[in-house]
Chain A
Amino acid sequence: MGADLFEIGVNTAKLLVIFLMMVQIVPLLVWVERRGSAYIQNRFGPNRVGPLGLTQLLADAVKFIFKEEFIPDKNRRFIFYAAPVVALIPGALAFAAIPLSIPISVETFELFGQSWGPYTFLFQGYEVGIGIVFVLGVSSLGAYALLMAGYGSSNKYSMFGALRASAQMISYELALGLSLVGILLIFNTFDFQQIIDAQKGQMVIAGNALPLPNWGIFYQPIGFILFVIAVFAETNRLPFDLPEAESELVAGYHTEYGGIKMNMFYIGEYGHMLVASGLMVTFYFGGYNLPWFLPQAEELIASYGNVMAAVILHLVFLAKVGLFLWIFVWVRWTIPRFRYDQLMDLGWKTMLPWALANTIITAIVVFWMRS
């Protein structure tokens, strides 16, 4: 956590801020989702409360908090109440491991008659050396929250929704894990920071500079497509929202939940989307770096100072993540839902062989290029 009190304090505050950032992005995304769907379906959406309907979110939050709490007739009450709490964990833990911008260095300074520093604060919650494995492991904990919700609800719709959800999540976990092997073969590291640094500058193949940024998507186009499909299934978003197919299962695993407890499942789902977008940006779109013809991190530090450069690059990261979050919303209102056997066939019989083929071809090309 840190060597002295100041560093421990800043690192703890950083964890809190990043977690609250994840929580705060939920109402914003719900607003984008409702306005976006209205725009796509040629209607107005929420536009009465406040400018552009933005304070609708505040009204919704107040309504959620002041809902009546009644004790439902459950024989597994602890699991019923624990499930929404567990739903918050995977998104928060995984998002804190993704680098959001360049580290900030602080010089030695005097405070309370004592000299502090120098420090280097990473622009992320914490750094784990095995970043990719950690994020994959933590985000697959999401299946537990769904299963607990279904099991604790004493309701057959919830139970079937939870079973479907967990079977779907584990099936697409295979394609997700396998589609990242290509990225590991190219960058040779589990560490997010090293992956982002490796994507700096211009793409150079066999000594020829191509007019493309050195981003992962140009090395792994098939891997990127498989990864996107798999994270859509992992986050239980349309066209893969079988767990809560409202025409078959009422509302799936959160049929029995209301008020803030249902909202916590939404925080978990949108947090998962945020992590998925962050991973796509980190692996395939150069993380927080700008393309080569725009100022790079070193030039920004030289002209604006360390802190301003970190803020600018953080905004770049957020812009890239926002683009992918919009694609999540866009796809939801464009593509209809799969049937369940089609979903499982796509996961096991289509995506898994394609991911295998991608791995084998990448390995052979890497061997051929480097030896």
Chain B
Amino acid sequence: MASIVPVLVLTAIVVGFGIFLVVVTGMLGPKLPQSELKKKSYECGIEVQETGHSKIPIKFYLTAILFILFDIEIIFMYPWAVTFADSITGGYGLQVLLAMGVFLFVFIVGLFWEVKSKALEWE
């Protein structure tokens, strides 16, 4: 628990600094008359056609799902990698290596299937 306190303190410092910048620089600077056109979103000088909230390609959603699957599998390798040397000195290194081999085999089959099913094709 003690090691998380400085992280929270730094987060508070950074957020405070950011809010200070946004708020204080908003108060400085000239105040010019506003107009309806000035408040519009940027659209190359013509009327706003679309605000970007209407349609989002489904492809991004698919990429995000695939990312979560693979990222969880990769994070499982981290404790294995850190303890691998201890397993070797403990005399059961081969079993641990083969167990990770099975895991990686599933990972690679998953990656192949993903490529084959054209989940990663961008057109």
Contacts and interface: CB of A to CB of B under 8 A. Distances in A.
Interface string A119-153: 00000011111001100000000000000001101
A270 to B, nearest CB: 15
A72 interface: yes
A348 interface: yes
B3 to A, nearest CB: 6
A73 B39 contact: yes
A153 B43 CA distance: 12
A167 B11 contact: no
A15 B14 CA distance: 10
Nearest to B41: A155
A264 B18 contact: yes
Contact of A84 (B2, B22, B84, B122): B22
A343 B28 CA distance: 42
Contacts of A321: none
B88 A349 contact: no
A116 interface: no
Contacts of B100: 363
A260 B75 contact: no
B10 A85 contact: no
4 closest pairs, A vs B, by CB?
Answer: A159-B52, A85-B18, A184-B81, A126-B6
Chain A contact-residue range equals 35 or more
B70 interface: yes
Interface string B83-117: 11110110001100100110010011001001100
Interface stretch (A298-306, A328-336, A351-359): A351-359
A126 B77 CA distance: 26
Interface string A153-189: 1111111100100110011011001100100110011
Contact of B11 (A93, A155, A188): A93
A371 B41 contact: no
B52 A155 contact: yes
B30 A348 contact: no
Given A93-B14, A170-B67, A185-B84, 19 more contacts: A12-B9, A16-B13, A66-B28, A69-B26, A73-B40, A88-B14, A88-B15, A126-B7, A154-B52, A155-B42, A155-B43, A166-B60, A166-B64, A174-B67, A181-B77, A360-B101, A364-B97, A366-B84, A371-B93
B71 A174 contact: yes
Q: Is the interface of A mostly helix, strand, loop or mixed?
A: helix
Contact of B29 (A12, A66, A156): A66
B74 A174 contact: yes
Contact of B17 (A73, A81, A88, A159): A88
A370 B93 CA distance: 10
The residue in A85, A127, A158 that gathers the most chain B C-beta atoms within 10 A of its C-beta is: A85
Interface of A: 1, 11-12, 15-16, 19, 23, 64-73, 81, 84-86, 88-89, 92-93, 96, 125-129, 132-133, 150-151, 153-160, 163, 166-167, 170-171, 173-174, 177-178, 181, 184-185, 188-190, 250, 255-256, 259-261, 264, 340-341, 344-345, 348-349, 352-353, 356, 359-360, 363-364, 366-367, 370-371
Contacts of B15: 85, 88-89
B123 to A, nearest CB: 7
A218 B51 CA distance: 50
Of B2, B22, B32, B94, which is in contact with the most chain A CB atoms at under 10 Å from its CB?
Answer: B22
Contacts of A167: 60, 63-64
Given A126-B6, A157-B42, A160-B52, A185 B81 contact: yes
A73 B85 CA distance: 58
30 contacts: A1-B6, A16-B13, A19-B10, A65-B25, A69-B26, A70-B39, A72-B41, A81-B22, A84-B21, A85-B15, A89-B14, A92-B10, A92-B14, A127-B3, A154-B51, A157-B42, A159-B51, A159-B52, A163-B56, A170-B63, A171-B67, A188-B82, A188-B86, A190-B82, A259-B25, A264-B21, A352-B111, A356-B108, A364-B97, A371-B93
Contacts of B89: 370
Given A256-B42, A363-B84, A364-B97, A19 B13 contact: yes
Nearest to B31: A68
B6 A11 contact: yes
Contacts of B42: 155, 157, 250, 255-256
